[in-house]
């Protein structure tokens, strides 16, 4: 019998390859295996439709759209998905705004394995 993690698949949407690679590495080290990546929302939409990720790490600043607009779209269209916003702009207003829009977590860049692990454990409690 195969063990299925309730938080997988996980989708990382970030236009910076190094950020995607680092987050993927952290998640892999935490034991997650089904990790998908997209560089922007245009490329993420078909992945979300096909794979229906349970957790989406979403950069606030993407070249093709604003992360908060994407957050609202995901919450309406895919209400099962847990969106974790990622940003280098971690002002109180920015964090509060993403919470009000329905984000289930916020990770300030640069992040580390401990921050990612804490967010994932919190999401497991929601499941």
To the nearest 10°, report the CA torsion of 4, 118, 20, 35: 0
At 95-113, the pLDDT tens digits run: 777 878 889 988 988 889 9
Encoding tokens for residue 124? 């497991």
Q: Is residue 3 part of a domain?
A: no
Domain of 54, in residue numbers: 10-125
Instruction: Provide block-wise average pLDDT over 10 residues at a time, the chain (127 residues).
Output: 68 96 96 95 93 94 84 91 86 74 88 94 83
What is the pTM assigned to this prediction? 0.90
Nearest C-alpha neighbor of 84 from the set 4, 14, 22: 14
At 46-60, the pLDDT tens digits run: 999 999 999 999 998
Residue 82: partners with Cβ closer than 8 Å, 6 or more residues away: 7, 54, 55, 56, 104, 105, 123, 126
Count of domains for the chain: 1
The pLDDT value given to residue 91: 66
CATH number at residue 32: 3.40.50.2300
Q: Is residue 2 part of a domain?
A: no
């Amino acid at each position: 019998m195969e063990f299925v993690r309730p938080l997988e698949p996980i989708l990382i949407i970030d236009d910076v390859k190094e950020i995607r690679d680092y987050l993927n590495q952290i998640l892999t080290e935490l034991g997650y295996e089904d990790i998908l990546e997209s560089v922007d929302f245009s490329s993420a939409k078909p992945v979300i439709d096909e794979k229906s990720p349970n957790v989406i790490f979403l950069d606030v600043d993407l070249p093709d759209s604003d992360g908060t607009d994407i957050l609202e779209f995901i919450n309406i269209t895919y209400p099962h998905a847990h969106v974790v916003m990622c940003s280098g702009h971690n002002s109180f207003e920015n964090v509060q705004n993403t919470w009000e829009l329905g984000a289930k977590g916020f990770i300030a860049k640069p992040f580390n394995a401990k921050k990612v692990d804490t967010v994932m454990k919190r999401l497991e409690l929601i499941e």
